[in-house]
Structure 1
Amino acid sequence: MASHSDIETLLSKLSTPQKVQLLTGVGWWHTQAFPELDIPALRFSDGPNGARGTRFFNGVPSSCFPSSTGMGSSFDVDLIHTIGQAIGEECRAKSTHVLLGPTVNTQRSPLGGRGFESFSEDPHLNGTIAAAYINGLQSKGVSATIKHFATNDQEFERRVHAKSCLTLTGEVSERALREIYLKPFQIAIKNSNPWALMTAYNRLNGVHASENNKLLQDILLKEWGYQGLVMSDWTGVYSTVESLKAGLDLEMPGPSVMRGAALERVLIGQKISLGDIDRRVERILRLVQRAKASGILFDGPEGSVDTPEVRKVLRTAAADSIVLLKNDKKILPLTAGYKKIAVIGPNAKVAVTSGGGSASLLSTYTVSPLEGIRAAAQKIGADVKYTLGTPSNRYLPLLDPFIHQANGQLGAYLEFWNETPTADFMSTSPVFPEKLPESAWGTPTLRSNCVLLDGVDETKVNTICWMRYSTKFTPDEDGDWELGLNIIGHGNLFIDHKLVVEFIPTVEGGLDPFNGKDIRGIAKGLKAGQEYDLEIRVSNAVLAAVALPFRCWGVIRAGGIRIVDADEAIQEAVVLAKESDVAILVIGLNNDWETEGKDREDMELPGYTNKLVSEVLLANPNTVVVNQSGTPVRMPWINEANTLLQAFYGGNESGNGLADVLFGTVNPAAKLPLTFPIRLEDNPSFLSFGEGQEPGKVHYNEGIFVGYRSYEARKLAPLLPFGYGLSYTSFEYADLKSTEISADGNFEVSFNVKNTGEVEGREVAQLYVSDRQASVPRAVKELKGFTKVNLKPGETKQVTIALDREALSFYNDREMRWTAESGKFGIAVGASSADIRLEGEVELAKTFTWTGL
Structure 2
Amino acid sequence: MAEEFDVEATLAKLTLPQKIKLLAGLGWWHTQSIPEAGVPSVRMSDGPNGVRGTRFFNGVPSSCFPSSTGLGASFDIDLARQVGEALADECRAKSTHVLLAPTVNTQRSPLGGRSFESFSEDPHLNGTLAAAYINGLQSKGVAATIKHFVANDQEFQRFSISSDVSERALREIYLKPFQIAIKKADPWALMTCYNRVNGLHVSENPWLIDDILRKEWGFKGMIMSDWIGVYSTTESIKAGVDLEMPGPTVMRGKAVERALAGEKLLPSDIDERARKILELVQRAKASGIPFDGPEEGVDTPELRALLRRAASDATVLLKNDSALLPLGGPLTKIAVIGPNAKQSFTSGGGSARLLETYTVSPFEGIAAAARELGAELTYTVGATSHKYLPLLNGYIHYAGGKGALVEFWNAEPVEGWTTSLIGGPEPAWSTPTRGSECFLMDGVDDSKVNTACWIRWSTKFTPDESGDYEFGINMTGVGNLFVNGELVVDLFHDPPPGEGFFGLATADVHAVVKGLKAGEPVDVEVRMTNATFVVRGAPFETRGGVRLGAVRVVGGEEAVESAVKLAQEADVAIVIVGLNHEWESEGFDRPDMSLPGYTNKLVSAVLKANPKTVIVNQSGSPVEMPWIDEAHTVLQAFYGGNELGSGLADVLFGKVNPSGKLALTFPKRVEDNPSYPSYGSKGEAPGKILYNEGIYVGYRGYDKKSIAPLFPFGFGLSYTTFAYSSLETSPISPDGNFTVSFTVANTGNVDGREVAQVYIANPGASLPRAVRELRGFVKVALRAGESKRVAVELDREALGYFDERKKTWVAEKGTFEVLVGASSRDIKLAGEAKLEKTFAWTGL
Instruction: Name the TM-score class by shorter chain.
Output: over 0.9
Distance 2:321 2:705 in 1: 29
Matched letter for residue 762 of structure 1: R
- Which secondary structure state, in structure 2, belongs to the residue aligned with residue 348 of structure 1? coil
| Equivalent residue pairs, number | 840
1:8 alignment partner in structure 2: 8
- Residues in 1 aligned to 2:561 and 2:332: alpha-carbon distance in whole angstroms: 22
1:306 aligns with 2:299: yes
User: What does residue 229 of structure 1 align with?
Assistant: 222
Q: CA deviation at 1:388?
A: 0.5
Give the match for residue 805 of structure 1. 796
2:530 equivalent to 1:549: no
Q: Is the 8 A contact 1:2 1:289 kept in 2?
A: no
| 3-state SS in 2 of match to 1:659 | helix
* Aligned residue type for 2:434: R
Residue pair 1:57, 1:362 contacting (<8 A) in 2 also: no
Aligned partner of 2:631 among 636, 641, 647: 641
CA distance, structure 2, for counterparts of residue 181 and residue 836 of structure 1: 26
Distance 1:481 1:766, change over 3 A: same
CA distance in 2, matches of 1:509, 1:346: 28
Offset at residue 505 of structure 1 (A): 7.1
Cα distance in 1, alignment partners of residues 543 and 358 from structure 2: 27
Q: Does 1:573 align with 2:563?
A: yes
The structure 2 residue matched to 1:414, chosen from 406, 410, 417, is: 406
Could you say what secondary structure the match of 2:210 adopts? Answer: helix
- Alignment equivalent of 1:424, drawn from 412, 416, 419: 416
**Is 2:768 aligned against 1:777?**
yes
Residue 40 and residue 3 in structure 1: after superposition, are their counterparts in 2 closer, same or farther (change >3 A)?
Answer: closer
Give the Cα–Cα distance (whole angstroms) in 1 for the partners of residues 357 and 211 of structure 2. Answer: 43
For residues 419 and 278 of structure 1, what CA distance do their matches in structure 2 show?
Answer: 48
Measure the CA separation in 1 of the matches of 2:808 and 2:679. 29
Letter in 2 for 1:832: S
Is 1:182 the counterpart of 2:175? The answer is: yes
CA distance in 1, matches of 2:593, 2:599: 13
- For the residue of structure 1 that corresponds to 2:677, the secondary structure is helix
Matching residue's letter, 1:281: A
Q: Report the alpha carbon displacement of residue 438 of structure 1 after superposing the two structures with TM.
A: 2.1
Q: How much does 1:337 deviate?
A: 2.1
Taking the aligned partners of 2:751 and 2:448, their CA distance within structure 1 comes to: 61
**Cα distance in structure 2, aligned partners of 1:546 and 1:326:** 54
Matches of 1:642 and 1:68 in 2, distance apart? 27
Distance apart, 1:520 and its partner CA = 1.4
* Counterpart residue number, 2:700: 709
Q: Which runs of 5+ in 1 are unaligned?
A: 160-166
For normalisation by structure 1, the TM-score amounts to 0.97
Matched residue of 1:401: which SS? Answer: coil
Alignment of 1:254-333 (within 5 A): 254-333=247-326
1:246 and 2:239 equivalent? yes
Compared with structure 1, are the counterparts of its residues 255 and 507 closer, same or farther at alpha carbon in structure 2 (3 Å cutoff)? farther
Partners of 2:59 and 2:434 in 1: CA distance? 8
Q: In the TM superposition, what is the alpha-carbon distance from 1:424 to its structure 2 partner?
A: 2.0
Residue 37 of structure 1: how far off its partner (Å): 1.4
Matched letter for residue 237 of structure 1: V
Q: Normalising by structure 2, what TM-score?
A: 0.98
Contact 2:478 2:495 in 1 (8 A): no
- Give the structure 2 partner of residue 91 of structure 1: 91
Is residue 447 of structure 2 the alignment partner of residue 459 of structure 1?
yes
Name the aligned partner's letter for residue 222 of structure 2: L
Aligned to 1:822: 813
- Residue 24 of structure 1 aligns with which residue? 24
Amino acid at match of 2:569: E
Map 1:102-501 onto structure 2 (within 5 A).
102-159=102-159, 167-407=160-400, 409-427=401-419, 429-431=420-422, 433=423, 436-443=424-431, 445-454=432-441, 455-501=443-489
Aligned match of 1:162: none
User: Which letter does structure 2 place at the counterpart of 1:31?
Assistant: T
Q: Partner residue of 1:60?
A: 60
Which amino acid in the other structure matches residue 736 of structure 2? G
Contact 2:575–2:613 (CA under 8 A) maintained in structure 1: yes
Deviation at 1:36, TM superposition (A): 1.8
Question: Against the structure 1 CA distance between its residues 511 and 600, is the aligned structure 2 distance closer, same or farther, given a 3 Å change threshold?
Answer: closer
Following superposition, the deviation at residue 587 of structure 1 comes to 0.3
Amino acid at match of 1:600: R
Once the two structures are TM-superposed, the CA of residue 60 in structure 1 deviates from its matched residue by: 0.8
Offset from partner CA, 1:706-746 (integer Å, 9 cap, x none) = 00001011011001000000000000000000110001000
User: Contact between 1:143 and 1:194, CA under 8 Å: does it hold in 2?
Assistant: yes
Q: Aligned partners of 1:353, 1:26: CA distance in 2, in Å?
A: 30
Asked if the contact 2:6–2:282 (Cα under 8 Å) also holds between the matched residues in 1, the reply is no
State the alpha-carbon separation in 2 of the partners of residues 548 and 2 from structure 1: 41
Q: Distance in 1 between matches of 2:561 and 2:472?
A: 27
**What's the offset of the Cα at 1:58?**
2.6
Q: Deviations over 1:94-121 (max 9, x none)?
A: 1111111110000111000000000000
Query: Contact (CA 8 Å) 1:673, 1:723: kept in 2 or not?
Result: yes
With 536-545 and 474-483 compared, the bigger mean Cα shift is at: 536-545
Instruction: Give deviations 1:788-838, integer Å, cap 9, x for gaps.
Output: 010011101000000000000000010000000000000000110011100
Paired letter, 1:499:
L
Residue type of the alignment partner of 2:739: E
Q: SS state of the match for residue 459, structure 1?
A: coil
Shift of 1:705: 0.1
Amino acid in structure 2 at the alignment position of 1:486: N
> Residue 4 of structure 2 contacts residue 286 of structure 2 at CA under 8 Å; is this kept in 1?
no
- Matched residue of 1:686: which SS? coil
> What is the identity, as a one-letter code, of the residue corresponding to 1:105?
N
Aligned-residue CA RMSD (Å):
1.4
Distance in 2 between residues matched to 1:502 and 1:700, nearest whole Å? 47
What is the CA-CA distance between 1:512 and the residue it aligns to? 5.1
Gaps of at least 5 residues in structure 2 are none
Residue 338 of structure 1 and its aligned partner are, at CA, apart by 2.0
Report the alpha carbon displacement of residue 336 of structure 1 after superposing the two structures with TM. Answer: 2.2
Separation in 2, partners of 1:255, 1:279: 21
Alignment of 1:664-683 (within 5 A): 664-683=654-673
The Cα shift of 1:508 comes to: 8.1
Question: What is the alpha-carbon distance in structure 2 between the residues aligned to residue 299 and residue 664 of structure 1?
Answer: 46
> Percent identical across equivalent pairs?
63
- Displacement of 1:509: 2.1
- 1:6 offset after TM fit, Å? 2.1
Q: Spell out the pairing of 1:557-568 with structure 2 (5 A cutoff).
A: 557-568=547-558
Query: 746-755 vs 460-469, which deviates more?
Result: 460-469
Q: What SS does the corresponding residue of 1:426 show, helix, strand or coil?
A: helix
Paired with 2:494 and 2:236, the residues of 1 have a C-alpha distance of 37
Question: Conserved in 1, the CA contact under 8 Å of 2:534 and 2:543?
Answer: no
Deviates more, 1:545-554 or 1:632-641: 545-554
Question: Does the Cα contact within 8 Å between 1:426 and 1:537 map onto a contact in 2?
Answer: yes
Whether the aligned pair in 1 keeps the contact of 2:2 and 2:288 (CA below 8 Å) is no
Tell me whether 1:650 sits opposite 2:637 in the alignment.
no
d(CA) in 1 for partners of 2:219, 2:792: 27
| Cα distance in 1 for residues equivalent to 2:575 and 2:73 | 21
**Residue type of the alignment partner of 2:23:** L
Deviation at 1:5, TM superposition (A): 9.5
8 Å CA contact 1:336–1:382 kept in 2: the answer is no
**How many Å apart are 1:657 and its aligned residue?**
0.4
> What residue identity is the alignment partner of 1:420?
E
Contact 1:675 1:707 in 2 (8 A): yes
Deviation at 1:442, TM superposition (A): 1.1
When structure 1 is superposed on structure 2, of 513-522 and 699-708 the one drifting more is: 513-522
**AA in 2 matched with 1:294:** S
TM-superposed CA distance for 1:23, in Å, is: 0.1
* Deviation of the 1:507 alpha carbon: 9.0
Decide which of 826, 836, 839 is 1:845's aligned counterpart.
836
SS of aligned partner of 1:688: coil
Match of 1:794 in 2: 785
Instruction: Report how far residue 441 of structure 1 moved.
Output: 1.1
Distance 2:657 2:5 in 1: 54
Report Cα offsets for 1:31-85 as digits up to 9, x if no partner.
Answer: 1001121110011111100000111243110000000000000000001100111
Shift in CA distance, 29/569, structure 1 to aligned 2, threshold 3 Å: same
Within 1, Cα distance between the matches of 2:496 and 2:55?
Answer: 26
Cα 1:514/1:478, change in 2 over 3 Å: farther
Output the CA distance in 1 between the equivalents of 2:155 and 2:91. Answer: 27
